Amino acid sequence: MPFRADESANRGFEAVKNYLIPRGIDTDERERSENKLFDIVDRYGPVVDGYPSWHPLVTHHNDQCPETLPNNRCGYKGLDHTRYFLNAFVTCPYSDGQEIIDSVDALPISSVVNITAERLDVQFYQPNANPILVSCDWLKPLSLKGMIPASLAIPLMLQKEVPCWEWATCGETWESMRSYFLGSPHGSRSSLFVDQETALTMKKIWNLLINTGMFGPIKVSNQY
């Protein structure tokens, strides 16, 4: 089945809206919360299930254990009840959220993005939760549809993967690495993060790398 980005984005939005905005919420408060959710999507992109392992929101992880969701192994502290967007995530702790803000402020400075955290003045998840928006603002232009262009995606991918040659024991195929490189949801040749042209370029470069033998022999999966 081909990957349909619009359908996937719409399904994700409805799921996140139902999760973050309970049915029993006051009508006026619900409208404010829905408007804020629309604002987040307009500015930071569609709802996603997971990030490419090279995305700046998750890139500060142990390279031997790649991460696709923000967590303490990426430098964040105190995340709870979290939902994800292309270039941001909303987390809803029952604490005041200061631990989250401090951990974001402590992330390494990047020449590619600014990652910041702010408290939201709307109700998300539960009345006694304190929603925090962690956003990733790119310092270089994105594509017209807000996707990450090859000029950013490929160097970020290489920055994470090339150093692995020092300890890798085998070269993983594109098929086994696709979820890490394209993010989720994704199809065979694109995702909500990168378009088909960028994904195919990434695949070509990855195949060139593993075929040099720099990571070791190419791992062949047994298929039954």
> What are the pLDDT digits (tens) for 14-36?
999 999 998 888 889 999 999 99
Instruction: Give the number of other CB atoms < 10 A from CB of residue 64.
Output: 8
Residue 1 pLDDT > 60: no
Q: What is the pLDDT of residue 92?
A: 97
Q: What is the pLDDT of residue 2?
A: 58
Q: What is the pLDDT of residue 64?
A: 82
pLDDT band at 125 (very low <50, low <70, confident <90, very high): very high
- pTM, two decimals, is 0.93
Q: What is the mean pLDDT of residues 43-67?
A: 93
* Residue ranges of domains in the chain: 5-138, 150-211
Stronger pLDDT, 63 or 66, i.e. the higher one: 66
| % of the chain exceeding 70 in pLDDT | 97
Q: What is the pLDDT of residue 224?
A: 40
Q: What is the pLDDT of residue 3?
A: 67
Residue 45 pLDDT > 50: yes
Residue 78 pLDDT > 90: yes
Stronger pLDDT, 120 or 2, i.e. the higher one: 120
Mean pLDDT for all residues in the chain:
93
Residue 5 pLDDT > 80: no
Residue 197 pLDDT > 80: yes
